[in-house]
A and B are shown apart, each in its own frame.
Chain A
């Protein structure tokens, strides 16, 4: 038992190292800016979904309001930089910390709610924040914030001439989110979360501090999500409430994990690698006329995967492996 556990961990680490090495080499061969753009987004959503998965997948607290933390990360960075000239790196850490604190403050009342009441509470809270930012004049209200252009450097985290630095940051972010999950899933927290997800009452009776473990998951998840928002603000260099805090983002963060395999280490990565390029490609090839074909393709895919592979696409791989070892 212990042996296969160690084997699984070693295999996961090797796979991750392999994928990272291959991914790091790809931009040396793929020079097309459009394709690089899709790769950056794919990595970003893989990392975001990985972060969402900590709270939604492992701990079982389905949040459809993570756009709040994404937006807080983006706004903290953009506001600090454009109003006070504070470097984005401080905004990134600051936004992460603010989000983690807010996630715990919101978790305090929300984690008493169960099922749909919890899900709707997360949607509603993110929506309130969205409406407030939409009306907050100092933060640019509906017009948003144009991030002032300085010199291209890692210090200002601005690169107007090349997408490559963003690509490598996104890759690093993805690796960090993966490693955090990898480490947490087999720590005592990981076991607590699964116990809380499967049966909170039983977990409580066995001495798992249900409430605290939900709070921990929320804080880690929110921190990482805000880092993603902060990155996104630098990447697109213009943000408004619609583009960083709308419900749409909450879904885009949850979807890859759900499609790939919720509560699994590789699910979010797999889901993002399939979903994000597909969305971007359908949007630019057939959805250009604004006639909704991209939505039809994308929605159909979600329905089909939800119905045919409720455990996520990752199930395809584990089945194959089981068959091979027999």
Chain B
């Protein structure tokens, strides 16, 4: 193992980590807002990848251009899911936690079934995108362009999110609702509207990630499952509900995954991520950046 190999894999790990952060951002946002873990988050990613694929296949729109469209489509989807399913799950009087887990999990199964039904279980990919398959070399280190652009999009998205939450009325309403939903209702903010918009925004973020992922990853009905667990770990590492914790969590997960792949067989690379999660929560039961 030479220094060059190590730097090479850490660099790829960092890029992947920034994408993991972007995938997890929406999950963290929704959790922070209303204490709900969306167990269909991976399926949101899967839908985003399919939307990207079909925009490419039918209208020849490159994934890079499609990204904002996919984000917009997912925004609508997320808000609808809140209004049709999650809103009712939150009204449960018994077993609230379990109801939320199983309502969103049931939704995930339905989405996977629908994807199999309409899109077939075949693996699809976008063969000729503008960036797909290209690499850039920085002093002997080769970086795939789609991942590099994805990392850039992730940083941009997190920056935009930061200003959005701090500077806009909706962002402030979001922050206020997460602090105290009851008090927010007293000053005339419609809690349901904020939640619906929060779900929309969370889904839009994963939509952005899906459009990027579609450039270099196979698209199939179960694709979400492999990323969902990583997203939960990312969010938990950062401290549930902290959107910027998810950013840091993503980077850690990417780097740990890349380092594990250096030492263990590639099929075991996720073991490193899971082990780090356990190590962190055993030492700090509320994640790295969560308040104790």
Contacts and interface: CB of A to CB of B under 8 A. Distances in A.
B152 interface: no
B1 interface: no
Interface string B88-107: 11001111111101110111
Nearest to A301: B106
B267 interface: yes
Contacts of A296: 110, 113-114, 117
B114 A117 contact: no
Contacts of B120: 291
Contacts of A116: 31, 37, 236, 240
A311 B96 CA distance: 9
Interface stretch (A27-35, A71-79, A80-88, A123-131): A123-131
Interface stretch (B59-67, B164-172, B282-290): B282-290
Contacts of B105: 251, 302
Instruction: Provide the main secondary structure of the chain A interface.
Output: helix
Contact of A303 (B92, B93, B107, B240): B107
A67 B106 CA distance: 19
Nearest to B115: A292
Interface stretch (B46-54, B142-150, B200-208, B270-278): B270-278
Given A117-B286, A124-B277, A310 B95 contact: yes
Contacts of B115: 292
A209 interface: no
A20 interface: no
Max chain B Cβ within 10 angstroms of own Cβ: one of A128, A262, A298, A310: A310
Contact of A300 (B106, B116, B117, B270): B106
Nearest to A141: B267
Interface in A111-134: 112-117, 119-121, 123-125, 127-128, 131-132, 134
Nearest to B272: A128
Interface in B92-140: 92-99, 101-103, 105-117, 120-121
B116 A291 contact: yes
A37 B89 CA distance: 35
Instruction: Provide the main secondary structure of the chain B interface.
Output: helix
A109 interface: yes
Given A258-B102, A299-B108, A121 B268 contact: no
Nearest to A125: B278
A117 B240 CA distance: 9
A247 B274 CA distance: 14
B229 A123 contact: yes
Interface residues of B, number: 52
A214 B95 CA distance: 19
A113 B106 CA distance: 25
B232 interface: yes
Interface string A300-321: 1111101100110000000000
A240 interface: no
A239 B57 CA distance: 40
Contacts of A207: none
Max chain B Cβ within 10 angstroms of own Cβ: one of A120, A290, A293: A120
Contacts of A134: 267
A306 B270 contact: no
B233 interface: yes
B95 A302 contact: no
B92 A310 contact: yes
Contacts of B277: 120-121, 124
Contacts of B233: 120, 124
B265 interface: yes
Contact of A121 (B101, B107, B278): B278
A307 B99 contact: yes
Contacts of A115: 97
Given A116-B37, A306-B99, A306-B106, A292 B85 contact: no
Contacts of B110: 295-296, 299-300, 303
B7 interface: no
A145 interface: no
A135 interface: yes
A311 B274 CA distance: 33
A298 B108 CA distance: 11
A258 B281 CA distance: 27
Contacts of B286: 117
A299 B108 CA distance: 7
10 contacts: A113-B281, A116-B37, A117-B236, A117-B287, A121-B277, A125-B274, A255-B102, A291-B117, A302-B105, A306-B106
4 closest Cβ pairs, A-B complex: A292-B116, A295-B113, A302-B106, A299-B109
Given A262-B98, A292-B112, A310-B93, 19 more contacts: A62-B97, A62-B101, A116-B37, A117-B286, A124-B229, A125-B274, A128-B271, A132-B268, A135-B265, A292-B117, A294-B113, A295-B109, A299-B113, A302-B105, A303-B102, A306-B102, A306-B106, A307-B99, A307-B103
Interface of B: 31, 37, 85, 88-89, 92-99, 101-103, 105-117, 120-121, 221, 225, 229, 232-233, 236, 240, 265, 267-268, 270-271, 274-275, 277-278, 281-282, 285-287
